[in-house]
């Protein structure tokens, strides 16, 4: 952005996502000195909330979901930039937002840029987008951040995408996927492209299976109404895990620029084979239907596992097995490459595995077969692990902090493109059209037992390591 002043509008400022992720990310950027020189953050909502009440709300949010204790001087400096606009915001009725933005422009300078963040359910995206256009809030080099899911099916994606492109350019659109903002996801590029001994095994000649496994111990908390309208497959598989699979499967880009990275992801997504419903397992944890805001007859999946095929030359014949679910036995976020046995005198020993954790700063672990020291040829498995948080000078940024910073500086390399998301919904469409019946599973378990069959007898390798 040319200006060093920015006006942020946070739609859904008092909602769950803003509390847990977005507002703490703004504070983190502020304390790192990464906010623009002049800025205002305007929270928007339907209620009539004063600026001071909004500041009190933000402080309680940061005390609960942020760092906890806030240095008083730093907090006052941050709070002085907070404003609230009530009355909602929709076509034909802007509430107080246009007025509050006008005042903010007077305060920080008429050259300020706009960043609009839609921390809202996907059903609200269209009306907010229409209103932004109607009230001429897409100028000032505006950037608009859309939370996932961007659409909930191929049809709704195309309708929303057409609307968005009718009022702004693709370069203004930032479709957020916090899995792409993870330090460890970004490190997949370096691990693979800067280390020949890793890059040389990154294909079907060496890898017999790729697993992307993201079980969660958490339930749906106070998101039950939103979650029941989407489920695990839409919420995780068709959005986050497809994008992680694209990161793993893509061909080397010409560079790590935004355009080249997005082009590489889009290209490999074109090689994703549409999912077959019989290669997908849905589950629902016992007691889900008893939650508030969940219908007694809900068939929403709280667990989904799928076998995905990438029909590129590099990955032909290698299954990518994806899994995520709520209320499971352990929680982790791992990508595992199961390596083929080497031909020769020890070809019958168990496969070696390269596991990459996407949690926190990330880590990498390899399970290697070695000879146990002694007089006999006895084999043993030994792990080798590298914790990226131990790298000297490490200062990892949480995903939302990293992505929000990228919006500020205009770097779209970690955001999904229109083409790649459309292809992701095309791949998911057969399952959405004919979803499998969810199988019940006990909270605290590993989910439906039938999902193990998707691993072709290998089992879930990260699950074994987690115990």
Residue list for the binding site: 12-19, 46, 148, 178, 182, 216, 235, 326
Catalytic residue among 57, 140, 240, 271: 240
Residues comprising the binding site for substrate? 178, 182, 216, 235, 326
Half-sphere exposure of 280 (CA within 13 A, CB side): 28
271 assigned to active site? no
Residue 4 is encoded by which pair of tokens?
Answer: 């060093």
What torsion, rounded to 10 degrees, do the Cα atoms 404, 232, 269, 123 define? Answer: -60
Pairing of strands 207-215, 334-339: antiparallel
What are the C-alpha distances in Å from 237 to residues 86, 320, 399?
35, 12, 18
Q: How far apart are the first and last CA of the chain?
A: 48
SS3 of residue 343 by DSSP: coil
- Would you call 273 helix, strand, or coil by DSSP? coil
Rg value, the chain, Cα:
23
- The DSSP H or E segment spanning 262 is helix 258-269
Other Cβ atoms within 10 Å of 279 Cβ, number: 19
Question: Do 215 and 328 meet the contact criterion of CB atoms below 8 Å apart?
Answer: yes
Output the six-digit token pair for 423. 């292809």
What tokens were used for 115?
């960043």
Distance of alpha carbon 1 from alpha carbon 360, whole angstroms: 29
CA distance 192 to 400: 24
Known binding-site positions for NADP(+): 12-19, 46, 148
Which residue from 330, 349, 327, 329 is spatially nearest to 339, judged by alpha carbons?
349
Task: Specify whether the CB–CB gap between 356 and 184 falls below 8 A.
Answer: yes
Taking the C-alpha atoms of residue 351 and residue 367, their distance in angstroms, rounded to an integer, is 9
DSSP letter string over 123-135?
GGHHHHHHHHHHT
CA 459 to CA 211: how far, in whole Å? 10
443, two tokens: 């909270």
Positions marked active-site: 240
């Amino acid at each position: 952005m040319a200006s060093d002043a920015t006006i942020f509008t946070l739609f859904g400022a008092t909602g769950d996502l803003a509390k847990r992720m977005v507002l703490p990310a703004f504070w983190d950027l502020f304390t790192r000195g990464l906010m623009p020189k002049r800025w205002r953050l305007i929270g928007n909502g339907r209620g009539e909330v004063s600026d001071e009440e909004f500041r009190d709300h933000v402080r309680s949010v940061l005390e609960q979901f942020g760092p906890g204790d806030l240095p008083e001087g730093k907090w006052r400096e941050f709070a002085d930039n907070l404003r609230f606009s009530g009355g909602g915001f929709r076509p034909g009725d802007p509430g107080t937002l246009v007025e509050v933005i006008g005042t903010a422009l007077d305060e920080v300078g008429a050259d300020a840029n706009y960043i609009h963040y839609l921390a809202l359910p996907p059903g609200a995206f269209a009306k907010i987008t229409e209103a932004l256009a109607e009230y001429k809030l897409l100028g000032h080099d505006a950037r608009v951040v859309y939370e996932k899911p961007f659409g909930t099916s191929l049809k709704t994606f195309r309708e929303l995408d057409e609307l968005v492109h009718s009022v702004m350019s693709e370069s203004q659109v930032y479709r957020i996927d916090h899995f792409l903002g993870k330090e460890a996801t970004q490190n997949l590029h370096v691990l693979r492209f800067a280390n020949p001994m890793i890059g040389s095994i990154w294909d079907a000649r060496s890898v017999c299976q790729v697993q992307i496994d993201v079980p969660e111990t958490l339930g749906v908390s106070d998101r039950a109404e939103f979650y029941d309208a989407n489920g695990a497959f839409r919420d995780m598989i068709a959005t986050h895990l497809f994008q992680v699979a694209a990161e793993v499967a893509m061909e080397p880009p010409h560079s790590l620029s935004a355009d080249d990275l997005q082009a590489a992801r889009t290209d490999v997504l074109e090689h994703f084979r549409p999912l077959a419903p019989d290669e997908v397992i849905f589950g629902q944890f016992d007691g889900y239907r008893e939650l508030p805001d969940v219908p007694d007859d809900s068939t929403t999946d709280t667990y989904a596992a799928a076998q995905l095929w990438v029909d590129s030359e590099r990955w032909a014949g290698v299954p990518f097995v994806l899994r995520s679910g709520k209320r499971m036995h352990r929680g982790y976020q791992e990508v595992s490459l199961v390596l083929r046995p080497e031909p020769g005198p020890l070809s019958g020993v168990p496969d070696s595995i390269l596991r990459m954790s996407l949690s926190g700063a990330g880590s990498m672990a390899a399970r290697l077969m070695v000879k146990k020291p002694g007089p006999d040829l006895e084999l043993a498995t030994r792990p080798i692990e590298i914790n990226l948080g131990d790298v000297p000078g490490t200062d990892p940024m949480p995903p939302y902090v990293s992505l929000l910073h990228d919006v500020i500086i205009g770097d779209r390399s970690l955001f999904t493109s229109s083409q790649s998301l459309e292809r992701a919904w095309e791949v998911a469409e057969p399952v959405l059209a004919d979803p499998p019946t969810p199988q019940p599973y006990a909270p605290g378990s590993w989910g439906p037992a039938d999902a193990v069959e998707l691993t072709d007898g290998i089992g879930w390798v990260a699950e074994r390591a987690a115990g």
